[in-house]
Amino acid sequence: MSLQISKNNGVFHLTGKLNTSTLRPFNIHFEHILEQSDIATVQVNIDYLDQIDMDGFDALKTLKAVALRNQKRFFINGDGFSELYNAFKQTDVA
């Protein structure tokens, strides 16, 4: 399955796989939103992701940095990936 990005009530929902093969459209989509739009807060829900690899995790970290650089807030929510949350907490401390 590929990656699908939908938006509902201001929240972007990711469905499918966030991995090496799906990163290009993911990065283009969210970098455009973070750099070019007037949206102040970007919220991404990962409840429906079936898979995320290290490249996908790195892409989320990069988007967080892009959001900070553009003075935007970037949130990730969802129940499925506690490892992702823990890894983000560790990078915030470093």
Whole-model pTM: value is 0.82
Number of domains in the chain: 1
CATH of the domain at 69: 3.30.750.24
Residue 78's pLDDT is 85
Is position 72 within any domain? yes
How many C-beta atoms lie closer than 10 Å to residue 40's C-beta?
A: 9
What's the half-sphere exposure (Cβ side, CA atoms, 13 Å) at 43?
Answer: 10
Is position 94 within any domain? no
Which helix (H) or strand (E) covers residue 8, if one does?
strand 4-8
Residue 83's pLDDT is 64
pLDDT one-digit tens code per residue, 44-68: 999 999 888 899 989 999 999 999 9
Is position 22 within any domain? yes
Domain range holding 70?
4-87
Is position 93 within any domain? no
Is position 83 within any domain? yes
Using CA atoms, how far apart are residues 8 and 69, in angstroms rounded to an integer?
A: 25
Residue 82's pLDDT is 64
- Whether 47 and 13 have beta carbons less than 8 Å apart is answered as yes
